Chains A and B, each alone.
Chain A
Amino acid sequence: MSSCSLHVLTNDDDRTFTLSDYEGARARWCPGCGDHSVLAAVEKLLSAEQLKPEDTVFVSGIGCSSRFPHYLKTYGFHGVHGRALPVALGIKLHRPELAVFVVMGDGDCTSIGAGHWVHTLRYNPDLVVLMLDNGIYGLTKNQTSPTTPQGVPSNTQPQGTILPPLNPISLALGVSNASFVAQTAEFVPAHLYATLRAAFHHRGLSFVRILQRCPVFTRGSLPRR
């Protein structure tokens, strides 16, 4: 690509990057939040793959998880609720040489941004898409999300969540042209890391649902094993 030739030629260096090269602002999620472990795994991945911070972009929507880019020292785009995927697609279309990651929550991905989710899976651009699924709206204080387990009370459905949860994996698998669909959990770090690594090395859209607990609003609804 001639448009970045100076960059291509002069950006070479023998830098090696350590974990601290990817650390941004101090993460302000609640203590015990699953987002911390995902952040740790992502930083480990970035340094294992020696991604140049300036050639890496994290795109997010709105929600607890969408603070993610602020806590990294890469380029970041913290956009609007549910619409991280179109922005990420635009970046990747124009600058295919960048490594582009998307971080969304369950409300972001499966509710307000569901249309973008389905269709970006179909387009299958080379993105790593992480859906941090704690099954609740945490930032706005405990409202039912599409993945909240049935019966769990919330501020919007205090008698217990009425419908059975949407299943992001079967939905993603139902999209023709979906090329990488995985599920892992924040509290099995080895599996989480291995999944992220496989997702990163997949060419095409890698959709990873990461199950996690909300320390404030998940009332033992996830089994402890």
Chain B
Amino acid sequence: MLRVHPAMRGIVTVANHVAGPADAASPGRPHTVHRMREHTVEVVSDSGEGAQKCSQIFGAVSAKMGNGVWTVEIIPAEIQPPARAPEGASGNRIRLGAGQVTNWGDDTNLVVAFNEQVLLARHRAGALARDATILLEDKWATDDDADIRDAWLQAMREIADVGYRVVTVPMEERCLTLVDDARKGKNMFALGMLAFIYQRNLDLVFEQIAHTFRKKSDAVYARNVDLVRLGYDWAGAHLDFRIEITPEPNDRPMVVMNGNEAIGMGAIASGMELCAMYPITPATSVSHYLSEVFERFGGVVHQAEDEIAAAGVAIGASYAGKVAFTITSGPGLALKTEFLGLAVMTEVPLVVVNVQRGGPSTGLPTKVEQSDLLAALFAQPGDAPRVVIAPATIEECFHVMTTARRIAEAFRAVVIVLSDANLATGVQPFPRPEVDTRWHAEPADLSAVLAGRKPYGWDESTGLSRRIVPGQRGGMHTVTGLSHDEGSKVAYSAGVHGRGMAMRSRKIAVLSSLLTPPTPYGAEEGDLLIVGWGSTKGAIEEAVDRARAAGLSVASLHLRFLSPMEPGLTAIFQRFRRVATVEINYSDTMGDPYVTEENRRRGQLSWLLRAQTLVDVDCWTRVPGEPLRPGAIVQAMHDLMPPRGDA
């Protein structure tokens, strides 16, 4: 039954319902079908009520039906936050599109909220469109507890003036007709409502439920199917709208996964065999994924006693054979610093994945930030050049592992892969990779070492050398973190020390010489060039499209290689009147107290670009603890646009 609480008069626009047979085949209510290019939906609940399961299934089904999808987790920072508290809001936001969706978008158009407090959290976060439709559990309005009723009233007042369209739903009441504990059923009921609204194929929904609950009993499956039907039928009988997003035709087979799974799979595809790690949010799920499947491919996941040991184990393994990798997040990268210096000094190839989160210190463990760029390049006493690569999409998270491993091997280098929480937890379909056996690392060459070959037989012009691994007859030597000559003999003389430095640095220049200059997106020249890196690519490019449609002369450039920096940037920058980076990290804003052009602390990429190109690269950065929205970037483009006539 649809009930309208007195406090909501004036904001509820749903017509009084017409009772009808609760039958999906003949929905009891006439409904308008809205055809859309895209739509964004959120399911939010208290932690533990299963909103995430519901939305993951919904996202997967939508992807299977051919829609573009971008899923973002809404995660409380605590495992067991209090019930009915805004800070406990847990769920997912799913942006559906007719074509490919490259970012999480701007505002949410439809929300399913299990209580008014989690709804408030999303309202206060500014996540909801002003005309959003809200499907809200109604039981709290008439709760026995006067405090809860009061909280409900206050919440309704807070959102009263926005213009949301609130539909109250008797989720609890309906679920109790099937299950004893509605907390364990509402998410499937909600899934049923979404399936009705977005016209999802119920067979696919049930298939996905079977997959999600494959470790549970048949009874659980059957109960969930019944709950989905209950929600579907309720929506059919009581809602007056449906939404249709017709997928663009696409005959390429697709896969759906999040960035961490992509990194795990990519590591397997690259032939790496050992991952050493210590649990840290938001990187850990890579190892969860790997632990499940890695051993089938002859791999090992070693959970070390700490972040430092994880780096050490990976270095030991790499030293003795195929390149190994370690995964971590900011605080872990800080701890691994000493060992990374050793790997650089001994030229042991190594891949380090850093899934960035908000910092400094423990910072925002579950939230996105791009604040580790300078740390990745420079956090090391002494000069320790290394390669830094940032994948920009979930698909690139998969493929970057092969490239990173190859570079590590060919250059005997430490390669840091910078992902972030947005890629790690975002779920997106992409074309299924055609795995090529040539991606796989060759077995270590253990043939005897020819007389005269040295452990660091540097090519004078490139700094490159071939490593010698244990087991190679005649190659015995001791690698050392002390300054050493090409025979790995400890030597402190100025000449030897300087030569080693030059050889290790030269490799970065050599890699740079192999890189192709990037191409701007949108236009080759113009008023404003936005430069980005990492997970912001989708949002920035969508913003470019919108801004250009609105007449702005703007383009964007997205960098994958940060060390060495991609070549040809100075020439590209000169074709634009103004250049600015867009990043999710902190920078001083001009006009803030005491901040001057001279002392301004800038976005991390902008700092690097200024140093390397001598171009006055501005920056627009934010640290909202969430991905950037394309709408906000469009606004920034307007603000950054150089005044007409400004040379």
Q: Is A–B contact present in the complex under a CB 8 A cutoff?
A: yes
Interface residues of chain A, those whose CB is within 8 Å of chain B, are 2-4, 6-7, 10-11, 24-25, 52-59, 69-70, 72-80, 83, 85-95, 97-98, 115-116, 118-119
Q: What are 30 A-to-B residue pairs whose CB atoms are below 8 Å?
A: A3-B321, A4-B443, A10-B447, A10-B448, A25-B489, A54-B471, A57-B320, A57-B470, A69-B478, A70-B490, A72-B478, A75-B475, A77-B316, A77-B346, A77-B479, A78-B482, A79-B342, A80-B341, A80-B481, A86-B316, A89-B312, A90-B316, A90-B320, A94-B273, A94-B321, A98-B471, A115-B306, A115-B309, A118-B305, A119-B309
A94–B471 touching, CB < 8 Å:
no
A6–B318 touching, CB < 8 Å:
no
A3–B443 touching, CB < 8 Å:
yes
Apart from the given pairs A3-B321, A79-B312, 11 other A-B contacts in the complex at a CB distance below 8 Å: A25-B489, A52-B473, A70-B478, A75-B476, A75-B477, A76-B478, A80-B342, A86-B304, A95-B471, A115-B305, A115-B306
Q: Would you give the shortest CB distance from B312 to chain A, in whole angstroms?
A: 3
- The yes or no answer to B595 lying at the interface (CB within 8 A) is no
- The yes or no answer to B313 lying at the interface (CB within 8 A) is yes
Q: Would you give the shortest CB distance from B193 to chain A, in whole angstroms?
A: 50
A87–B471 touching, CB < 8 Å:
no
A3–B472 touching, CB < 8 Å:
no
Q: Would you give the shortest CB distance from A111 to chain B, in whole angstroms?
A: 14
- The yes or no answer to B433 lying at the interface (CB within 8 A) is no
A91–B443 touching, CB < 8 Å:
no
> Residue on A with the closest CB to B475?
A54
Assembly CA distance A216 to B429 (angstroms): 67
Contacting residues, chain B, for A52 (C-beta < 8 A): 473
Assembly CA distance A90 to B274 (angstroms): 9
Q: Mark B284-296, 1 if CB is under 8 A from A, else 0.
A: 0000000000000
Q: Given the known inter-chain contacts A55-B470, A90-B316, A91-B470, please indicate yes or no for A75 contacting B481, CB distance below 8 A.
A: no
Assembly CA distance A154 to B560 (angstroms): 53
How many A-B contacts are there with CB distance less than 8 Å?
Answer: 154
Within 441-485 of B, Cβ neighbours of A (below 8 Å) are at 443-444, 446-448, 470-482
A78–B479 touching, CB < 8 Å:
yes
Q: Say which residue of A24, A25, A55 sits within 8 Å of B471 (CB atoms).
A: A55
B471–A6 touching, CB < 8 Å:
no
Assembly CA distance A154 to B174 (angstroms): 77
Among the interface residues A59, A72, A75, A119, which one has the most CB atoms of the partner chain B within 10 A? A75
- The yes or no answer to B439 lying at the interface (CB within 8 A) is no
Q: Say which residue of A25, A54, A58, A87 sits within 8 Å of B316 (CB atoms).
A: A87
- The yes or no answer to B308 lying at the interface (CB within 8 A) is yes
> Residue on A with the closest CB to B306?
A115
- The yes or no answer to B338 lying at the interface (CB within 8 A) is yes
Q: Say which residue of B317, B472, B477, B482 sits within 8 Å of A90 (CB atoms).
A: B317
Contacting residues, chain B, for A90 (C-beta < 8 A): 274, 276, 302, 312-320, 324
B471–A4 touching, CB < 8 Å:
yes
